[in-house]
Amino acid sequence: MRLKTKIAAGFAACLFVLGGAAVAQKSQFITVLTGGQSGVYYPVGVALSQILGKAIPAAKATAQVTKASAENMNLLQAGRGELAFALGDTVLDAWNGDAEAGFKEPLKNLRGFSATYNNYIQIVANADSGIKTLADLKGKRVSVGAAKSGTELNARTVFKAAGLTYADIGRVEYLPFGESVELIKNRQLDATFQSAGLGVASIRDLASSVKIVVVPVPKDIVTKIDSPVYLPAVIPANTYSGQDADVDTVAIPNFLVTQSKVPDELAYEMVKAMYDNIDTLHSAHNAVKGLKVENALNGMPVPLHPGVERYYRQVGVLK
């Protein structure tokens, strides 16, 4: 009996050890919240999820199509994602609980991960519409992005600075980039308001199909915007086919954001994997070629995740 007891005890111990190993090796799901497939968030998010999946043992990383910034912040707050792209003003509105921006209460689970690249306000019209200035949008058919998206919040802000309201527009459509472009091609829409990185696929597609006009946002209008994350910028000539001159506009920084329930070690591994493979991420889209670790904390609107902070201290970005 004593021998049998020892054997049974040894077997149980083995099961305990193996069981512990199984728990340690349990798959870690990483959902990267992006945006529409015709924007910049999606291809960069796909590339990032592939980096994370390869670099982190047992990680199962996927990129999820969403309505972008505002929805991403709400999903993170609810624990339905580990990493998300969002515009700086949306992140700030979410943290503060700006009801007008779609946040009924402060989203205090949000944690900083990294600055990424600037979005540029790109207001593009069919040249046949006669639209050349912001004032020319009055009475026209304009898409301002998905309702309550980062793009739509940007549209409201720029229109307000320009002395315009949605009531001045002939017809306001709340559509993603790709759908907006298709309607312009079919002459069912006059202009689209898109907040994205330079060279966004949707506008390249439009410019290859019809003659376009990129509508400027003059510097005197930008200075009327009461927000530290709205900066004067320029869309360089030839960014799109038929755009033969520089165009003044507004730039808004984008951020990658995580949430407080992500374990410290996983957050550390995610940010390390991203910067260890930054060349791969740069190749995902021209918009993110300027993404550098030394700029990772520029303008960060929310507190850093502890695991992420550990990495930045390790590489000397934080002292």
In this structure, the dihedral spanned by the alpha carbons of residues 152, 154, 160 and 165, taken in order and rounded to 10 degrees, is -20
- Whether 234 shows a pLDDT value over 80: the answer reads yes
- Whether 19 shows a pLDDT value over 90: the answer reads no
Tell me the C-alpha distance between 71 and 33, whole Å: 9
Report percent pLDDT > 70 for the chain.
92
What is the per-residue pLDDT for 13? 47
What is the per-residue pLDDT for 296? 96
**How far from each other are the two terminal CA atoms of the chain, in whole angstroms?**
63
257-288 CB burial, b ≥16 within 10 A, e <16: bbbeebeeebbbbbbbbbbebeeebbebbebb
Task: List, in order of start, the domains of the chain with CATH numbers.
Answer: 27-116+254-314 (3.40.190.10), 119-252 (3.40.190.10)
What is the per-residue pLDDT for 306? 98
Report the chain's mean pLDDT, rounded to a whole number: 91
What is the sign of the dihedral through the CA atoms of 311, 316, 318 and 319? Answer: positive
pLDDT tens, position by position, 103-122: 999 999 999 999 999 999 99
pLDDT tens, position by position, 303-317: 999 999 999 999 999
Q: Which is more confidently placed, 197 or 24?
A: 197
What is the per-residue pLDDT for 137? 98
Question: How many CB atoms sit inside 10 A of residue 179's CB?
Answer: 18
52-58: average pLDDT? 95
Which of 17-21, 88-92, 122-126 has maximum average pLDDT?
A: 122-126
205-225: average pLDDT? 97
Q: What are phi and psi of 205, to 5 degrees?
A: -65, -45
User: How do 28-33 and 59-64 pair as beta strands?
Assistant: parallel
Which DSSP string do the residues of 139-203 spell out, in sequence order?
Answer: TSEEE--STTSHHHHHHHHHHHHTT--GGGBSEEE---HHHHHHHHHTTS-SEEEEEE-TT-HHH
**pTM score, two decimals?**
0.77
Instruction: At 264, list the tokens.
Output: 């410290």
User: How do 28-33 and 141-143 pair as beta strands?
Assistant: unpaired
The pLDDT confidence band at residue 101, using thresholds 50, 70 and 90, is: confident
What is the per-residue pLDDT for 16? 42
Q: Which is more confidently placed, 293 or 36?
A: 293
Q: Which is more confidently placed, 319 or 312?
A: 312
pLDDT tens, position by position, 265-284: 999 999 999 999 999 999 99
User: How do 28-33 and 83-87 pair as beta strands?
Assistant: parallel
Q: 216 by DSSP, 3-state: which? A: coil
